[in-house]
Amino acid sequence: MLELRNLSRHFGGVKAVDELDLTVRQGEILGLIGPNGSGKSTIVNLITGVYKPTTGTVQFKGQEISLMDPHHRTELGIARTFQNIRLFGHLTVWQNVWAARVVRDGGWAGLKQRWLSGAGAAREEAEQLLEFGDLAHKRDMLAGNLAFGEQRRLELLRAAASGAELLLLDEPAAGMNAEEIDALDNRIRSLRDQGRTILLIEHHMELVMEVCDRVAVLNFGRKITEGTPAQVQADSQVRAAYLGTDQPAAA
């Protein structure tokens, strides 16, 4: 579904991403991990069009999108969440989800008309997503007044409401407690079961290793290995990147 080929992004002399080859297969959950500063969020920004590549290409469903504007990539079926939450804080929980759902049908130009008309199908789907995210009881609360973990959930629901086939989840577990992370695990699996493809960027290793089909590991902007969670955990380069040693951690 998504092909990154020889992808690089340099900021002056800093190679944030360096000659990366990465494939995200349709219907899978691919984990992207690495130490802070390894290039994970830069890759998300290259995929979504926030940054343009220094070299290399981004292809989505066989189409070259490397120089395409972000909103056109969204129209093709790519959506994301953010490390730093970017909700519409002065809209309600329900309005955040409903707006994302309506824009998918008519774009921003049709949002005002649909807002006034109610758009029944969009309204029903928004309600279902709120139930899915356990936020239906807070539907009328301003998004900016939610607890941090709830805001994380709402960002996920808003991305899902866009109808995107590919979801890029940038540290969705950040700030969540153990119970919320367990629920996030189930929601990510459920979205995959509904036909979504997911690229998960995350520091919470237990979540990554439990939910992902494959994992790719970055260090200093380069991919050092990829494979199943078990293969990645056994890799000496991964242990060196995370622990500063090629020996397994002491029990």
Q: Along the 251 residues of the chain, how does pLDDT read in single tens digits? A: 999 999 999 999 899 999 999 999 999 999 999 988 899 999 999 999 999 999 999 999 999 999 999 989 988 999 999 988 889 999 999 989 988 877 666 554 554 555 445 556 677 888 999 999 999 999 999 999 999 999 999 999 999 998 899 999 999 998 899 999 999 999 999 999 999 999 999 999 999 999 999 999 999 999 999 999 999 988 888 888 775 655 544 33
Q: Considering the domain 78-163, what is its CATH architecture?
A: 3-Layer(aba) Sandwich (3.40)
**Distance between CA atoms of residues 107 and 111, nearest Å:** 7
CA atoms within 13 A on the CB side of 105: 17
Domain-wise residue ranges, the chain: 78-163
**Distance between CA atoms of residues 126 and 138, nearest Å:** 13
Find residue 14's DSSP bridge partners.
11
